[in-house]
């Protein structure tokens, strides 16, 4: 049984989705894996559950510790995936928790400067301040 795709979906989009699916399936190829029944099966099931990704999207698990199940997967941009990495450094300031990359974009302070400050144990307030270290 094949899932009927919208007419505007191009063969190239399907090819890209197929490559992504095969990569994900390789991670779930063990039949004893709890995610295997959901995605260890057919490409048609995968496309029916997930749809076809945009050119700038790839497969992302919402909960990075969870399985490849329809409820835990989404198509995401590189920026969204970067925010969702297990090893992303996060900083909470005034009730907002963001990755250092997000804080860097918002404040204009270089990512590596923020990272150095966090790893040195600076407070969130001091980390996000525009202190010029060359003048200190």
User: pLDDT tens digit string along 90-108?
Assistant: 999 999 999 998 899 999 9
pTM: 0.56
If asked whether residues 68 and 25 sit together in one domain, one would say: yes
Tell me what pLDDT residue 7 has.
61
If asked whether residues 15 and 60 sit together in one domain, one would say: yes
Identify the domain containing residue 61 by its residue range: 11-77
What length does the chain have? 136
Q: Which helix (H) or strand (E) holds 14?
A: helix 11-27
Residue 12, SS3?
helix
In a domain, 34, yes or no: yes
- Contacts of 115 by beta carbon, 8 Å cutoff, 6+ apart: 89, 100
Task: Between 74 and 26, name the one with better pLDDT.
Answer: 74
Residue 101, SS3?
helix
Domain count, the chain: 2
If asked whether residues 16 and 60 sit together in one domain, one would say: yes
């Amino acid at each position: 049984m094949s899932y009927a795709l919208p007419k505007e979906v191009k063969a190239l989009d399907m090819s890209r989705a197929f490559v992504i699916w095969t990569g994900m399936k390789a991670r779930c190829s063990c039949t004893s894996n709890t995610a295997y029944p959901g995605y260890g099966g057919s490409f048609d099931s995968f496309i029916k559950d997930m749809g076809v990704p945009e050119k700038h999207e790839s497969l992302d698990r919402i909960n990075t510790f969870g399985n490849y199940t329809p409820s835990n997967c989404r198509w995401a941009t590189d920026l969204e995936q970067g925010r969702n990495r297990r090893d992303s450094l996060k900083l909470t300031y005034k009730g907002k928790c963001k990755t250092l990359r997000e804080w860097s974009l918002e404040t204009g302070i270089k990512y590596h400067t923020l990272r150095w400050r966090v790893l040195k144990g600076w407070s969130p307030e001091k980390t996000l301040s525009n202190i010029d270290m060359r003048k200190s």
